[in-house]
Amino acid sequence: MQFALVVVLVLLGVLVDSVVFAPLNLPGAPPNVVLLIVAALALVFGSVGGAFTGFFAGLAVDVLPPADHLIGRYALVLCLVGYLVGLLRDEARDSVLLALVTVAIAAAAATVLYSLLGGVLGDNRVSAGTLVRSLPYSIVYDVLLAPFVVPWVMSLARRAQPQVVPR
């Protein structure tokens, strides 16, 4: 049940990112629904579940159109972000404010890691100026979108978890 939920949510996030937000040509980096889904699932499943979800989600972003970067780049970034957000599960899962701060940190970390990895891999579209211009937009867009995505995804993930019946 959990795997099916992750697959459906990730594919829905990729679809929303590529069909709704990419064509808007917003200033800076567009909102990243896939990142929000990974963060929400990491807050429920923990660091290992967040890493696996992040890797799967990043791989989906890497291979599904309109991908324009090396395969594995986003998988690595979202794997690391999912792991790090999962480490904050106990502190952030019951507080809305801490969940929003966690999303802001995740958005910043994903943007910085993606840019740094692009620089290491020789992506000529990446520069320090591009990172400085896109980072605030990335954080603001994701934090504004988080209240509409994160609680809903967390609720679905909690329902999909197997219930332990005491004997």
So what's the pLDDT on residue 162? 74
What value, to the nearest 5°, has the Cα angle with vertex 128 and ends 34 and 136?
50
So what's the pLDDT on residue 26? 85
| pLDDT in single tens digits along all 167 residues of the chain | 688 999 999 999 999 998 898 888 888 888 999 999 999 999 999 999 999 999 999 999 988 876 677 788 899 999 999 999 999 888 876 777 888 888 889 999 998 998 888 888 887 777 778 788 888 998 899 999 999 999 899 989 988 877 766 66
So what's the pLDDT on residue 39? 95
Distance CA 126, CA 97 (A): 32
As a 3-state breakdown, the chain gives helix, strand, coil percent values, each rounded to 5, of 80, 0, 20
List of residues 6+ apart from 94 with CB closer than 8 A: none
So what's the pLDDT on residue 82? 95
List domains and CATH numbers for the chain.
2-160 (1.10.1760.20)
So what's the pLDDT on residue 85? 94
> CB of 152 within 8 A of CB of 39?
no
So what's the pLDDT on residue 161? 78
So what's the pLDDT on residue 167? 67
pTM of the full structure: 0.90
